[in-house]
Chain A
Amino acid sequence: MRRIAVPLLTLFIGLCTWSSEASAFCGFYVGKADTKLFNKASEVAIARHDNKTVITMANDFKGDVKEFAMVVPVPTVLEKEQIHVGDPAVLKHLADYSAPRLVEYFDENPCRRYDMLQDRMGAMKSMAPAAAEAKRERDQVLGVTVEAQYLVGEYDILILSAKESAGLETWLTDNGYRIPAGASSVLHSYLKQNLKFFVAKVNLGEQAKLGLTHLRPLQIAFESPKFMLPIRLGTVNADGAQELFIYFLTKQGRVETTNYRTVRLPDAQEIPLYVKDKFGDFYRDLFTQQVKRESERGVFMEYAWDMNWCDPCAANPLSAEELRGLGVFWQDNVGGPQRGRSMPMAQSVFLTRLHVRYDAAHFPEDLMFQETSDRSNFQARYILRHPWTGTDECPAATAYRQQLRDRYEREAQTLATLTGWNIGEIRKTMNIAALPVGDENKWYQRLWKN
């Protein structure tokens, strides 16, 4: 029996000058938080402009592909040309480019220049062929119409419409789809809203012929004023909360949810150096803390940036070809920016990355979006600041060493607040107690020091 593995994931639905030499950002990029950190994570890329939408649905299905099936509500009956199989590498590139990042600074010798932050630029890197007569009759009795049937890449695709949800549910069960209990009322609601159902499963013969061992992302293109992702089927019978990463590629500006709070994650915080080796754990716990802070009802912005550049770059910006592969149809300049040129071609693509942890209790309604005219940049960026460890002696160096312990304490507290980790453990790991104690006299004691 086939299983609905990605129970409907998903669906419908200041400008900066750049030069290859200059950068306003200090610090080296040292690490990023991978989407694989999170269990049960789905990834969706949505390219949208003027009601024209291309959705790329990533597939990280791990089990037997015979078990795989996907049911997605869509606003229109899709033609074969509106369905496409994408390149997983491009989606991976998009995820890497927009991932939360860790950067590091190195303090300079305070004796040389007390104002020690040196600007360093982040380097710019770069189903069945013919249905039997009896089956058709059965379909008619159930009120389910197979509007279209296609073979696209390794996928068998069906577009279904139905008169009522019970018939659709029976049809899906009859045809080997395991529908979670409770899905019926959600199917009913979607049918009343005149949605069609896009059903995909893997054609094993085609998959073998193509020599693929993994499932590639499915893409659909359609035109609809609805700018939303139907998450309700995914919450039916779900075992705990699910993670969803949504990447929006738009022309005008940032995308946000209109029916849930879109919240920026805390950014540009200085954290202890030892986090470098456990940035994944750090980010996962930080995210969980933020989810709690928003009473589990928030949608979080991890990245919002003009696709032309990045600073620092967790990965190179996507090329025009890659963007086209993700559905960016409004760029005339197919050639894209030339690497090494001092001024890139205007790409007119703005990327918004949202991360949501959802369940039925806190996200009763599908996610609704709007594109805003906001082009201000945002990135979830965390900072490691290495102390100067030289042995020079001068008044500035003495003062510098004395404030280090306070600085470490601040970093420890920031880390505890952001992640909920135990402050005592953090201090122990940082070995703050072993640091030389600064001048702990009060200001008035120093004033009238004997």
Chain B
Amino acid sequence: MGLDQLKTQLSSLDPRLYQIASLSTLLLYGLIWLYFDISVTQIAVTIGTALLTQYAGTRYYNLSAFDPKSPLISALSLCLLLRTDHLAVAALASFIAIGSKFVIRWKNKHVFNPTNLALVVMIGSGLGWISPGQWGQVAWFGFLIACLGSLVVTRAARADVTLAFLSFYVGLLFARAAWLGDPLTIPLHQIESGALLIFAFFMISDPKTTPDSRTGRIIYALLVTLAALYVQFGLFHPNGPLWGLIACAPLVPVIDYLFQDVRYSWSSPSNGSPPVYTLCPAACSLPLSQPRRFL
């Protein structure tokens, strides 16, 4: 089988399978090598609750079929990020994440990214915490490669918002370092967070919670970046991007109103029509044809 054939075959797979594989590998690596503070029982409870909630929601709202892939991605992200001493908290987080997709909706789109909402509720209430510094360089770099690889292989639908966010965020961190006269090792160290990667590749890119048009999404990425940096350097609070995204999520309907475009849907995934202008030509010139996440 030639390389092109392999690529075609991979591209035809559901991109979420690729995501599930990379998240699972990372979780295993974290457990075995980095001693992540999470028990196998907690992983089972998190995943089990997510699947059950998805199943219950599917039945209650009479949706076509139960699909475990999306809740699995949410649950794996929670396992990678959320730390708690209590299994009940892990279950509650999973329930909030998946349940919010069915309940908190605006014009047939859910408002908050499920993982993001659950994490913010848990750390805001003090029931759990996130350990953003626990990754180390090897895991971080490996995961970065896997995430970038997934964008290319799966031609993800919302690569523009991911790349725009990363460009703004990293660019502004470097700009801050230049203003302070800090060595470049400092911003490089600051971006070395696994939580940042999960955020950029798995949360902000959720097609159901991002604006419909590409221009809207670029503006959205900029707003989230500014909010994240304000939380980090203005309020001196960790996990800035998570708070930034939750704060900006309610703005999506407004952005959609200002920049109207085709609504993302299951049957005809779309990236929106080409923008009149773009802040991020490189990101936006990627071939984008398949949906990345849904519901």
Q: A264-B35, A373-B85 are in contact. Are A259 and B189 (CB under 8 A)?
A: yes
State the Cβ distance, B114 to closest chain A Cβ, in Å: 22
**How close is A46's CB to chain B, nearest CB, in angstroms?**
15
A14-B85, A264-B35, A364-B189 known; A192 vs B179 contact (CB < 8 Å): yes
Q: In the bound complex, do residue A294 and residue B183 qualify as a contact, i.e. CB atoms below 8 Å apart?
A: no
Whether B250 sits at the interface, judged by CB under 8 Å, is: no
Given contacts A365-B190, A373-B85, contact A252 B126 (CB under 8 A): yes
Within 8 A of B (CB), among A256-313: 256-264, 294-295, 297
- Check if A423 is an interface residue, CB within 8 A of chain B: no
In the bound complex, what is the Cα–Cα distance between A104 and B185 (angstroms)? 45
A370 at the interface (CB under 8 A from B): yes
Contact of A192 with B83 in the complex, beta carbons under 8 Å:
no
Chain A residues whose CB sits within 8 angstroms of the CB of B84 once the complex forms: 373
Contacts of B35 in A (CB 8 A): 263-264
- From A185, A188, A193, A260, B133 is in contact (CB under 8 Å) with A260
Q: Is B288 an interface residue (CB 8 A)?
A: no
Does B236 make an interface contact (CB < 8 A)?
A: yes
In the bound assembly, the distance between CA atoms of A252 and B137 in angstroms comes to 30
- B103-141 CB mask vs A (1 if < 8 Å, else 0) is 000000000000000000000001111011111110000
Residue contact B137 to A295, C-beta cutoff 8 Å: yes
Q: Is A370 in contact with B129, judged by CB distance below 8 angstroms? A: yes
- In angstroms, Cα B128 to Cα A71, docked, is 37
* Contact (Cβ within 8 A) B235 A225: yes
Nearest CB in chain B: distance from A252 CB, A = 7
Are B189 and A261 touching (Cβ within 8 A)? no
B72-97 contact mask (Cβ, 8 Å, vs A): 1 or 0: 00000000000111000000000000
Q: A14-B85, A373-B85, A373-B129 are in contact. Are A259 and B137 (CB under 8 A)?
A: no
**Total CB contacts across the A-B interface at under 8 A:** 74
**Is A256 in contact with B236, judged by CB distance below 8 angstroms?**
no
Closest chain B residue to A259, Cβ basis = B133
Q: Are B133 and A258 in contact (CB under 8 A)?
A: yes
Q: Is the CB of B236 within 8 A of A373?
A: no
Q: Is A189 an interface residue (CB 8 A)?
A: yes
The yes or no answer to A429 lying at the interface (CB within 8 A) is no
Tell me, in angstroms, the Cα distance from A373 to B180 when the chains sit together. 33
Known: A192-B181, A262-B131, A295-B137. A373 touches B190 (CB 8 A): no
Q: How far is the CA of A372 from the CA of B128 in the complex (A)?
A: 7
Contact partners of A258 in chain B: CB under 8 A: 131-133, 238
Chain A residues contacting B83 (CB-CB under 8 Å) are 372, 374
> From DSSP, what is the main secondary structure of chain A's interface residues?
loop
Which chain B residue lies CB-closest to A373? Answer: B126
What count of chain A residues pass the 8 Å CB interface test?
32
Q: Separation in Å of the B243 CB from the closest CB of chain A?
A: 13
Contact B129 A294 (CB under 8 A): no
What 1/0 mask marks residues of chain A from 111 to 129 whose CB sits below 8 Å from any chain B CB? 0000000000000000000
- Chain B residues with Cβ under 8 A from A3's Cβ? none
B14 at the interface (CB under 8 A from A): no
Q: Bound state CA distance, A256 and B137, in angstroms?
A: 18
Tell me how far the C-beta of A241 lies from the nearest C-beta in chain B, rounded to whole angstroms: 16
CB closest chain-B residue, reference A189: B180
Which residues from A are CB-within-8-Å of B181?
185, 188-189, 192
Among residues of B, the one whose C-beta sits closest to the C-beta of A192 is B180
Instruction: Give every chain B residue within 8 A of A224 (Cβ-Cβ).
Output: 236
A205-228 vs B, Cβ < 8 Å mask (1 yes, 0 no): 000000000000000000011110
Chain B residues with CB under 8 A of A192: 179-181
Alpha-carbon gap, A370 to B236, bound state (A): 10
User: Which chain A residues lie closer than 8 Å to B188 at the CB level?
Assistant: 364
Question: In B167-189, which residues have CB < 8 Å from any A CB?
Answer: 179-183, 185-186, 188-189
| Interface check A375, CB cutoff 8 A | yes
**Which residues does B use to contact A, with CB under 8 Å?**
34-35, 37, 83-85, 126-129, 131-137, 179-183, 185-186, 188-190, 193, 235-238
Could you write out 5 A-B pairs with CB less than 8 Å apart? A188-B180, A257-B133, A372-B129, A373-B126, A376-B85
